[in-house]
Amino acid sequence: GLALVAAEMPGIDGLETSRRIVGAVPQTVVCILHTGVEPDADAMTGSGAAAVLHVDALTRSSLQELWEQHRSR
């Protein structure tokens, strides 16, 4: 599946959420969405997220491309 996760949420951030999702269901493609400063690249890699996108870059084609690149995880 594909999970769209907000970078900032009350009580937990998108990186930790991504770690938990991928830890529970490793084949999930996680995309972290942010509205400001992009999360640290090293932290993102350790979270298991496939991508980080600014919400303004979120389009049907960007999601389709992300899915096609990572669905065979």
pLDDT at 73: 63
The neighbouring-strand residues paired with 29 are: 2
* Structure confidence by residue, pLDDT tens digits, 5-58: 998 889 998 899 999 999 999 999 999 999 887 777 677 778 899 988 899 999
Helix (H, G, I), strand (E, B) or coil at 51: strand
Q: How many helices (DSSP H) and strands (DSSP E) are in the chain?
A: 3, 5
The model carries a pTM of: 0.85
Residue 55: name the closest of 2, 16, 5, 19 by CA.
5
* Cα gap 8→17, rounded to integer Å: 10
Between the alpha carbon of residue 46 and those of residues 39, 43, 59, the distances in Å are: 12, 5, 25
Q: Three-state DSSP class for 56?
A: helix
